[in-house]
A and B are shown apart, each in its own frame.
Chain A
Amino acid sequence: MTLIYAGLSLGAVYALVAIGYNIVFVASRSFNFAQAQLMMIGAFVAYAGHVTFGLPAVAVIVLAMVVVMVIAAIEERIAVRPVADHQTQLITTLGFGTVLTGLAQLIWGTQPLEVPFIGSKEAITLAGGRVYTFEIGLIVMAVVLVVGIHLYTRRRLNGLAVVAMSQDAEAAVLRGVNVRMLAFSAFAVTGLLAGLMGFFIGPKTFAVATLGSALALKGFVALAIGGFGSFYGGLAGGFTVGLVEEHAARYLGSEFSNLSVFAILLLVLMIRPTGLFGKVQERMV
């Protein structure tokens, strides 16, 4: 069970990155390759709120969410909006991520910093396995977020507008949807969530400048396995990557850990090119 908990908590981290990728993808059909770096900044701001400013937990969460939301909004204005096509946005968001990594190194250094957790710091025994409480928190948070976002995009008018925009931007405009504002809001919301996620992943991963690059690739793999645009897919993809990584490292050796993850990715894409939960869209031409 210990290994399953470890895989699920690690997978939850990847799933959280995939959620961020998905929100932007659904809203604007582009990828925000700085998403993992936004989470990394969230972890650092959580550290600063706890340790440097000595704020209470609620204030730390609000601080992390607001700071990262502002950064994400700035990213949308300088690295996404001025760029016309989505291919170029891959490069500009990647560049923005690199800038964030450099800034984090400049402000907080290159060594890992311990981010305190609001709950118990002790590991507990649960159904025969050992797990930290913050790891359980990560798993719960990933599931709750996905369910919440799914319900929002199905039942709220704004959520439906985002889905409409992702399916046909021109038709959405004709129906009165402010596409540009919604795309901007999607970035701001991913920033908001990245700040929240940073608060929760910090106790597991530490706040460290290399965190962004460590998460970016696996988050993308989680997304590809689950299917682009599917929030449940991102969650399933994240858990799959985490579980495969842990079990391969345990029983085959760490040399096979990444190999196994990419083998699973290839297998899934060969069987279902759109990913586990991805949908094929038909278009009249």
Chain B
Amino acid sequence: MIGRRARWAALAAALLALPACGAAEEAGTAGAAEAPYVIMVSAGSDAGPVTDQLITGVNSVKAGVETVNEAGGINGRQIKLIESPDNANPTKAVSGLRAQLAKEKPDAYIVTAGTQVSSAVAPILNQNKILFMNSANLDETADPKQHPLAFNLAASPRVVVEDYLPVFEAEGYKKIGILHGNSPYAKTFGELAETVFKENGYEVVGNVEYDSAALDMTAQISALRDAAPDVVVFNAYGAPTGYVLKGMTKLGWDVPMLGETSVASTPLVTQEPPDGLLGLPEVKNLKIEVNAATVYDPAAEATNKAVEKMKALGGIKGAMVNVLGYDGVLLIAAGAKSAGSTDAAAIAKALEDPKVNGNAGTAVYGSYPYSADSHEPKLPRGTHTFVPPAPIVNGQMGASK
């Protein structure tokens, strides 16, 4: 008797539970639609020489999140930003990402500084089908066959190098000297510069590498001077920029110098004394390579909007090339809107459409020409120009404080 009653009770409970289950599923679906869109960003406060880049990069992502959320979020989902306090350390970044995956899978991941972090997290993001916006130059994340959901945000080194050619032509330089550091990017720059210049009929009379940890560049500059180039093309960031410029001045070598984008990001050349070298003999022969966004233009609405947002978040250290994270967030929003979905694959597919990546309201580059074959922005020649060093305030030259 008791057993029969228990069976009836169990049946009744099961019947009562059925509609409740349905209600729970509906609630879950509704919850998913309203759940925040989670973006994780490699962040921190102490990344050695790249600390300024990292802090500015993370602020740029925050500014992008604010902009998108104010416009209604990503297809109606507000963005929730999770900072990985890894200080651009690849091991910590991987640990942070794995810990986050165990708790809640992010929808997208952004790296604003540190090529090694990008290399370390890319396979995990690929494996977990997470959208990846990468501010570093990395061949594998530019290749959709390897990483279909990853996109490079930075201009490719080839574009950076090719933009030297109009200056050579205009100034009549024929013999080129190259001076570069020994970081992976600097080595790529040095090799590519030699190849591109030779391909275009210029004579590369010297291609000298320096150790980025060295405290004196006299030897390298002496070697280059003996080759007697018409112009010196060089790459440096931070203290090595100063060592190169002081070395040139010490030797009394009066030769034009063209510093690539990393030189423009070094405050030493864009600040007046006593903090910097601006206006001193060290920079009198120097021109630096900058993108259009680094030169203030009152008509550039999208860029100015981003700068204003970032001013409120602590300002921009270095040049506008450090705020690619802002564009990364806006590209995700534009891709999702076009795809009508927040699915990573759908967003990635949409971003390959020029109508989408060219109308996202991005700040650094007006468009990010991706294609089904390449997730590296194929920016046109002339993306960068060479200008004499001038004070850079909040990432821009010619802007008021």
Q: Say if the beta carbon of B23 comes within 8 Å of chain A.
A: no
Q: Which residues 83-137 of A have a CB within 8 angstroms of B?
A: 102, 105, 109-114, 116, 123, 130-132
Q: Is the CB of B216 within 8 A of A50?
A: no
| Chain A residue contacts of B273, Cβ below 8 A | 114
Q: Is the CB of A2 within 8 A of B242?
A: no
How many of A's residues come within 8 Å of B, CB to CB? 41
Q: Is the CB of B238 within 8 A of A111?
A: yes
Q: Say if the beta carbon of B341 comes within 8 Å of chain A.
A: no
Q: Is the CB of B216 within 8 A of A254?
A: no
Q: Give the residue of A132, A208, A215, A249 whose beta carbon is less than 8 angstroms from that of B219.
A: A249
Measured CA separation A111–B268 after assembly (Å) = 8
Provide the main secondary structure of the chain A interface.
helix
Q: Is the CB of B276 within 8 A of A250?
A: no
Given A105-B51, A208-B238: A111 touches B220 (CB 8 Å cut-off):
no
Q: Give the residue of A110, A114, A116, A255 whose beta carbon is less than 8 angstroms from that of B48.
A: A110
**Distance (Å) between the CB of A243 and the closest chain B CB?**
11
Q: Say if the beta carbon of A258 comes within 8 Å of chain B.
A: yes
| Chain B residue contacts of A51, Cβ below 8 A | 274-275
Residue of A nearest to B241 (CB): A112
Interchain Cβ contacts within 8 Å, total number: 109
Q: Is the CB of B211 within 8 A of A112?
A: no
**Distance (Å) between the CB of B278 and the closest chain A CB?**
10
Q: Say if the beta carbon of B22 comes within 8 Å of chain A.
A: no
Q: Mark B203-217, 1 if CB is under 8 A from A, else 0.
A: 000001111011110
State which of B31-39, B154-162, B249-257, B328-336 sits at the interface with chain A. B249-257
Q: Is the CB of B218 within 8 A of A246?
A: yes
| Chain B residue contacts of A3, Cβ below 8 A | 218-219, 222
**Distance (Å) between the CB of A160 and the closest chain B CB?**
36
| Chain A residue contacts of B46, Cβ below 8 A | 102, 105
Q: Give the residue of B211, B252, B275 whose beta carbon is less than 8 angstroms from that of A114.
A: B275
| Chain B residue contacts of A205, Cβ below 8 A | 215, 239
Q: Which residues 33-57 of B have a CB within 8 angstroms of A?
A: 46, 48-52
**Distance (Å) between the CB of B264 and the closest chain A CB?**
13
| Chain B residue contacts of A211, Cβ below 8 A | 239
Measured CA separation A114–B218 after assembly (Å) = 18
Residue of A nearest to B247 (CB): A6
Interface of B with A (CB < 8 Å)?
A: 46, 48-52, 182, 208-211, 213-216, 218-220, 222-223, 238-239, 241-242, 246, 249-252, 266-268, 273-277
Please list 22 pairs of residues, one from A and one from B, whose beta carbons are closer than 8 Å in the complex, sorted by A's number.
A2-B250, A6-B216, A9-B216, A50-B274, A110-B48, A110-B50, A112-B241, A114-B273, A114-B275, A123-B251, A130-B251, A208-B238, A208-B239, A210-B49, A210-B239, A211-B239, A213-B213, A250-B223, A254-B182, A254-B211, A257-B211, A257-B219
